[in-house]
Amino acid sequence: MEVIIQPDAKAAADLTARLVAKELQDKPRLVLGLATGRTMETVYRRLVEMHRTENLDFSGVATFNLDEYVGLAAENEDSYRYYMKRHFFKHVNLRTVNVHLPDGMAEDLDAECVHYEQAIHDAGGIDLQLLGIGADGHIGFNEPLSALQSRTRVKALTPATIEQNAWHFSVPEKMPRRALTMGVGTILECRRCILLALGETKAGIIAAAVEGPITSMISASALQLHPHCTIIVDEAAASRLRGAEYYRWIFENEPEWQPYRKLMKR
C-alpha cells in the first residue's frame, strides 16, 4: 500500500485523475473500475475536463462499476447508472457497449451477479479500480463482515449506510435496502487500485483501514493485501494517520512520483 497526502481535496482529486489518465495513455483499451459517491464527483469532473482540453480518449475503454441498488431502473435518477451518466458517461467518448453496471432490476439477481463476474473476466479483468470508502469502511457496498474472498452478490445495507446515503435520494425513505456489489475478492483481483478519501469525516476510518488490522469488519482493510494499491487523501482525511510523515517523505523523494510532484506544484 502507498499513501499519498495532498494539501486539499482539489489536489487529491486532480492527482487521482492524472493517474487514471496515465494508465489510459499507457493502455488505450484500459478496463476501468468505477465508483460512485460524492468524493468521486471531483475526479469525474477533472477527467471530463481532461477529455475536453487534452483529448483524453475513452473510445477504447471498458468500464465496470462497483455496485448498483436493487430495484432501481437505469432511468431512475437515484440509480448509480444515472449518477454515472450525469457525472461522467454523457460527457466523454465512452462507447455504450463498453459500459457495465450490475443490473439492479434483473429478475434473477444471483444470475446477474454471476453474469457480471463473467463479463469482468471476459474483458480481461480490471486494470485499474477506483474506490471510495464508506463511513463504516465499506468499498463498493461490502458492508462489515463481508467475506474477504466474496464475489459479486446481493448485499443488505447497514442502517448506518442507509443513513449516510439516503439524503441524496429524491424521497429518502425510498432508498433501497439492498444492492448488488462486486465482492472484496473481486476488487482484490484488479491489477491496480486507487482509493480516494476526502475530509475529516473519513480520517478515523482511513486510519483504521490503512494502519489497523485486516478485518472483515472494515472491508477497505483488505486492500492491505493488494500488491498495487494507492490511497490518496487530503490533509483532513490524513489527520489520524500515525505514519503521515513517512508517507509524505516517500511522495517527496521516490523517483516514481517525480512527475506528479511537479504537477502538483504548478
Catalytic residue set? 67, 136, 138, 143
Question: Number of residues in contact with ligand GLP, rule: CB under 6 A?
Answer: 14
Q: Select 56 or 132, whichever has its Cβ closest to ligand GLP.
A: 132
CA distances from residue 246 to 2, 75, 95, 169, 192 in whole angstroms, order as listed: 10, 46, 42, 40, 22
Closest CA to 30 of 21, 17, 18: 21
Contacting ligand GLP (CB under 6 A), which of 37, 60, 176, 212? 37
Contact status: 120 vs ligand GLP (CB under 6 A): no
Contacting ligand GLP (CB under 6 A), which of 69, 141, 247, 251? 141
Contact status: 231 vs ligand GLP (CB under 6 A): no
Closest CA to 32 of 56, 11, 10, 12: 56
Contacting ligand GLP (CB under 6 A), which of 33, 102, 104, 134? 134
Residues 238-257 contacting ligand GLP, CB under 6 A? none
Q: Select 39 or 146, whichever has its Cβ closest to ligand GLP.
A: 39
Residues 87-106 contacting ligand GLP, CB under 6 A? none
Contact status: 146 vs ligand GLP (CB under 6 A): no
Judge whether 165 and 132 are in contact, CB under 8 Å. Answer: no
Contacting ligand GLP (CB under 6 A), which of 50, 51, 63, 67? 67
| Region near ligand GLP per CB under 6 A, out of 18-26, 85-93, 134-142, 238-246 | 134-142
165-171-172 Cα angle (round to 5): 30
CA 160 to CA 257: how far, in whole Å?
37
| Region near ligand GLP per CB under 6 A, out of 31-39, 102-110, 224-232, 234-242 | 31-39
Contact status: 129 vs ligand GLP (CB under 6 A): no
Buried b (16+ CB within 10 A) or exposed e, 97-124: ebbbbbbbebeebeebbeebbeebeebe
Closest CA to 155 of 33, 70, 221: 70
CA 221 to CA 209: how far, in whole Å?
4
- Min dist. Cβ of residue 216 to ligand GLP (A): 17
Contact status: 186 vs ligand GLP (CB under 6 A): no
CA 158 to CA 164: how far, in whole Å?
10
Contacting ligand GLP (CB under 6 A), which of 152, 165, 186, 230? 165
| Region near ligand GLP per CB under 6 A, out of 12-20, 33-41, 52-60, 235-243 | 33-41
Judge whether 28 and 138 are in contact, CB under 8 Å. Answer: no
Q: List residues bridging with 99 in a β-sheet.
A: 63
Judge whether 140 and 182 are in contact, CB under 8 Å. Answer: yes
Note the residues at the interface with ligand GLP (CB under 6 A): 35-39, 66-67, 132-134, 140-141, 161, 165
